[in-house]
Amino acid sequence: MNYFKDTNNEIFAYDAEQVADGYGADLTPLEGGEYTDGTEIKPYKLDATFEQVVRDVDGVITAPLTLVDSRFAEAIQSKITTIKGTYKTYATEPVTVDLITYNGGDSSASAINGAIQLAEANAESDVSLWDVDNVLYAGVSFTDALLIAQTIATQYRDRMFERSAKIAEANAAVDQSGLDAIILPVV
């Protein structure tokens, strides 16, 4: 690894191939021991991701720079895209309440809440709702309609929390087996 500093005394690390490609040409080369003032080394490469080096209080590197292959970074992004696509469908799957199946997702829950508010504003005694097959159910009590909206919204929220956890797992993966271990729902 070759170390360089810029005019702000920020330190950068490049491997031999990068130096041969011209990286660091506009920076000042450092000799071993020159960077022991506690300055953080800022690794850089256009087509890869680095983890920060670990240095002790004297500036001695105790863990080397770790290069995460850009192909693995692409695999992480691909897994995240797959997770998002899967959960876009999974989070909005139909929800069954009292043997009636309704559209799922936050927009469905919002639409039911809107229907409740409209019925209340019009001084109606109940709500009319449509199921997933567009069959009208008139005479649904406000309490039952709220329960339906709550059930739909809760399913959506829980699945979106699960989606976020899966994305965090993908970002934390250190190798392909970590990505492969992330199990997604079948939709």
Q: Which residue segment(s) compose the domain that 21 sits in? A: 2-68
User: Would the pLDDT of 9 be above 90?
Assistant: no
Task: Please identify, among 47, 68, 89, the residue that sits at the C-terminal boundary of a domain.
Answer: 68
pTM of the entire predicted model: 0.62
Is the same domain home to 128 and 60?
Answer: no
Position 185 in a domain: no
Condensed to tens digits (0 to 9), the pLDDT of residues 59-116 reads 555 555 444 556 777 888 899 999 999 999 999 999 999 999 999 999 999 999 999 9
Share above pLDDT 90 across residues of the chain, in percent, rounded to a whole number: 53
Condensed to tens digits (0 to 9), the pLDDT of residues 167-180 reads 999 988 888 899 99
Is the same domain home to 27 and 100?
Answer: no
Contact 13, 53 (CB under 8 A): yes
Distance of CA 100 to the CA centre of its chain: 33
Task: Please identify, among 39, 68, 97, the residue that sits at the C-terminal boundary of a domain.
Answer: 68
Is the same domain home to 40 and 96?
Answer: no
Is the same domain home to 109 and 131?
Answer: yes
Task: Please identify, among 45, 68, 91, the residue that sits at the C-terminal boundary of a domain.
Answer: 68
Contact 39, 142 (CB under 8 A): no
Position 186 in a domain: no
Amino acid at 145: A
Q: What is the pLDDT of residue 13?
A: 72
Is the same domain home to 74 and 54?
Answer: no
Alpha helices, DSSP H only, in the chain? 16-20, 70-90, 106-121, 142-172, 176-180
